[in-house]
Chains A and B, each alone.
Chain A
Amino acid sequence: MSSDIHSSAPRTPAPPQTPAPPQASRLDTTEHAAATPDTELPWAELGLKEDEYARVREILGRRPTGAELAMYSVMWSEHCSYKSSKAHLRQFGEKAPHSDALLVGIGENAGVVDIGQGYAVTFKVESHNHPSYVEPYQGAATGVGGIVRDIIAMGARPVAVVDPLRFGAPEHPDTRRVVSGVVAGIGGYGNCLGLPNIGGEVVFDSCYQGNPLVNAGAIGVMRHEDIHLAKAAGTGNKVILYGARTGGDGIGGASILASETFEDSSGKPAKRPAVQVGDPFQEKLLIECTLEAFAERLVVGIQDLGAAGLSCATSELASNGSGGMRVELDDVPLRDSTLSPEEILMSESQERMCAVVEPSKVERFLAICEKWDVTATVVGEVTDGDRLEIYWHGEKIVDVDPRTVAHEGPVYQRPYARPSWQDALQADDAGKLPRPVDGKELREQVLRLVASPNQADKSWITSQYDHLVQGNTVLAQREDAGMIRVDEETNLGVALATDGNGRYAKLDPYTGAQLALSEAYRNVAATGAEPLAITDCLNFGSPEDPDVMWQFVEAIRGLADGCRQLGTPVTGGNVSLYNQTGETAVHPTPVVGVLGVIDDVTRRTPIAFAQEGQLLYLLGDTREELGGSAWSQVVHDHLGGMPPAVDLERERLLGEILVSASRDGMIDAAHDLSDGGLVQAVVESCLKGGKGARLVVPDGIDPFVLLFSESQGRAVVAVPRSEEVRFNDMCGARGLPVTRIGVVDGEEVELQGQFSIPLSELRTAHRETIPALFG
């Protein structure tokens, strides 16, 4: 089946565009650079703007060397410097709610949260969108590898991964190439690493046709005392590069692949697609080797090598520490001996890490690396100055203040303005779309909804991932959130859900971001876990487009406000910009991951309606809210109006009820209501449990609205008859509206007086769509 991924239309890569030394015969040392101020450097080709290059010259007081230019260009790229987003991301810190659970906040490789019993959890979601379009298998695989290294750099053992994915229109011929490759890549890498894949999403929309969103998340667990931060302190400490050898892969990937579109519409040759190939077995060794070194307290500071490779690792480690750093580039183990120093600094070869180790512990560190068959080399040391100095063949080719490379890059206040089309889009109310007139039409639309690619069962995809390896998976795909047992004695566990609805966010980015937060929060609470903290992956188009920038600013404002209200701090995350094809941006797609803690995983609440006779209750209020709904997309191919209203206080109340009900054994199943509305949730829960449901339409509500509205703050729960009074009393006492809507029964899903559909018919409709498209 992997042949599918090779059937891509060929791309003709342009010749490599790495910065050649200005005079090939002569090494471009700092001394040489100072003596030849007028030498032209390819700063524009490396993605720097004219004023940015001028700023580099100003910082250095001379022209940069080729190697310095390489470092500044990758580190000042959008991907590494967050130059368009930084000014707005500050809100996550400024508006952060106080949380005792937050042990490490934004700015480190990943945030760390206290989950009790001495355990801490680190989790993060990152994007690998552009690489996954160029080469879906390797792009997705190295996305998993990158996020896992972020987790181990914090000193945590990775325990699970999740993958929120967005693809183009399901019937488009290129979608098959991307889906097959991405899914195989995630499975290939994650399965080889032995990490369960416990959640994520798969969404199709033509706006992602030329720009799929491949986000990868990971969770790691550690003891409190094992948290490690990325810094290089202590003069004389050694800098050790370990893991894979450095090759020519991914050169310029950070600045070129992630920041600009790679097909130039003006007819200039395309920039070189810098494809990195992952090696999960090497990464597995890296995990074990790193954790063993941590356990023996051998490491002062550590950094994984991701985008911008050594440029990033050395400048960040040095600027987070107190002193400077001196690096001998000749000592970097190479896969390709012809690499120039600029290329070595820019290479994005995978499965590498950089550690700072006290001299007396170097021998032991290297011995551990040897035991795990991991190449490790001392490449430099921490100095007492404040300069990052890099040498090649004994000559100095880099002499910079590392802070100017890593932290003091350009910050842009990009202009933004509410798009001129926003009002018209919001005025195009989905409420005026023709609705089903009778039970027969309702029935037909229910079947269409559950069979539509976005609402259909995704087992064909998720079954390619190992979700049970390690033996601690409590809940995985098709449940509301993934859940992992952390302690086998006490049954302490964590849950993680990721959500994001680009259609909602397109209609109103502020609300859309809060809806992503609401849904992920609700999903976690529905499993019985208490939401603690969030991570985000913000996927948007070009920040140079004021329309897109407005969407981005609004979404951040919405998310920061929402987190403050819910008391869930943002622990870290990732921004991915330039997600667009030509002039057309993807829907603004903020993906939010909410982490929750559960003191006893044996009380988790599944979605399955499995016990006949149990009562079905709808929690929350149902209003007529159809803007951006799955129904409007599936039946009318429509996107317009306002997204559902957000009520975060209600979400919090609903969450408390769901957690209490789980703790006190009042409910046997719960499913949050989101896209597709009540009917989607009921069908999924019935199919999962293999039991039907008889539903009645409560007084005062239209059957169509009951089934398809996407009002927030709702869940459907199955209550054993013995708990009915207690459950009702609890909801009543706390002021949560609750409506009895039916009972688990039979082999059909029936809406009284309207229609009934046999489970077998629903199962066929729900499960056959994805295999038919991609199988």
Chain B
Amino acid sequence: MARVVVDVMLKPEILDPQGQAVQRALPRLGFEGIADVRQGKRFELEVEGPVDDAALARINELAETFLANTVIEDFTVRVEELEEETATA
């Protein structure tokens, strides 16, 4: 059992109104020195069975077709081993 994390971010050239709203709010709240803010989404998928190449291919496919809107977003997939699972393995 393992956790796969999919991070979805708007592509760099795409406007991010939410990130800009956060950035504009920062100096108002006294937080100086932040040049830019981009806001994204993080999905944590608990995977049944081994995270082998086939499973990762499947996750890549679901990320590409469902989690991310690849017209305007990029995504990354990475495996995060869960501690208790690795202990019993």
Contact = CB atoms under 8 A, between A and B. Distances in A.
B56 to A, nearest CB: 17
A279 B21 CA distance: 10
B83 interface: no
A281 B10 CA distance: 19
A680 interface: no
Given A10-B64, A373-B24, A135 B15 contact: no
Contacts of B16: 277
A146 interface: no
A273 B15 contact: no
B9 to A, nearest CB: 13
B13 A248 contact: yes
Contacts of A8: 65, 69-71
B86 to A, nearest CB: 32
Give the dominant DSSP class at A's interface: loop
B64 A3 contact: no
A350 B20 CA distance: 14
B1 interface: no
B69 A279 contact: no
A7 B66 CA distance: 5
Contact of A350 (B12, B15, B71): B15
Contact of A335 (B15, B67, B72): B15
A575 to B, nearest CB: 26
Interface in A223-281: 244, 247-249, 251, 273, 275-279, 281
Given A275-B71, A277-B72, A373-B24, A247 B66 contact: no
B17 interface: yes
Nearest to A13: B71
Interface in A1-47: 3, 5-13
B65 A275 contact: no
A135 B71 contact: yes
B69 A247 contact: no
Interface size class of B (residues with CB under 8 A): 10 to 19
A134 interface: yes
A10 B24 CA distance: 33
Contacts of B10: 277
A7 B69 CA distance: 7
A273 B72 CA distance: 9
Interface string A640-680: 00000000000000000000000000000000000000000
B15 A279 contact: yes
B71 A276 contact: no
Interface string B60-89: 000011111111100000000000000000
Given A282-B17, A336-B12, A3 B66 contact: yes
B65 A7 contact: yes
A122 interface: no
A3 B24 CA distance: 28
A248 B7 CA distance: 22
Contact of A134 (B17, B20, B71): B71
Contacts of B68: 6
A247 B15 contact: yes
A230 B88 CA distance: 72
Nearest to A343: B13
A249 B70 CA distance: 15
Interface in B10-48: 10, 12-17, 20-21, 24
Contacts of A282: 17
A277 B14 contact: yes
A279 B72 CA distance: 15
A350 B14 CA distance: 11
B12 A10 contact: no
A11 B16 CA distance: 20
A251 to B, nearest CB: 8
A755 B67 CA distance: 52
Given A6-B67, A9-B65, A138 B17 contact: no
Contacts of A244: 15
B66 A6 contact: yes
A281 B24 CA distance: 13
Contacts of B66: 3, 6-7
Given A135-B72, A138-B72, A249 B67 contact: no
Contacts of B17: 277, 279, 281-282
Contacts of B65: 7-10
A477 interface: no
B14 A275 contact: yes
A277 to B, nearest CB: 4
A349 interface: yes
B67 A247 contact: no
A276 B15 contact: yes
A247 B71 contact: no
Interface string A126-161: 000000001100100000000000000000000000
A445 B74 CA distance: 49
A275 B69 CA distance: 12
Interface in A167-189: none
B23 to A, nearest CB: 11
Contact of B15 (A10, A134, A251, A277): A277
Contacts of B12: 248, 336
A10 B70 contact: yes
B68 to A, nearest CB: 7
A247 B24 CA distance: 17
A135 B69 contact: yes
Contacts of A10: 64-65, 70-71
Contacts of B20: 279
Nearest to B14: A277
Contacts of A135: 69, 71-72
Interface string A351-393: 0000000000000000000000100000000000000000000
Nearest to B15: A277
Contacts of B71: 8, 10-11, 13, 134-135, 273, 275
Nearest to B18: A279
Contacts of A134: 71
Contact of A249 (B13, B21, B69): B13
B54 to A, nearest CB: 20
Contacts of A273: 71
A249 B64 contact: no
Given A8-B70, A247-B14, A282-B17, 8 more contacts: A8-B65, A8-B71, A9-B65, A135-B71, A249-B13, A276-B15, A277-B17, A278-B15
Interface of A: 3, 5-13, 134-135, 138, 244, 247-249, 251, 273, 275-279, 281-282, 335-336, 349-350, 373
A-B pairs, 3 with minimum CB distance: A248-B13, A279-B17, A277-B15
23 contacts: A3-B66, A6-B66, A6-B68, A6-B69, A8-B65, A10-B64, A10-B65, A10-B70, A12-B70, A134-B71, A135-B71, A247-B14, A249-B13, A249-B14, A249-B15, A275-B14, A275-B71, A275-B72, A277-B10, A277-B72, A279-B15, A336-B12, A350-B15
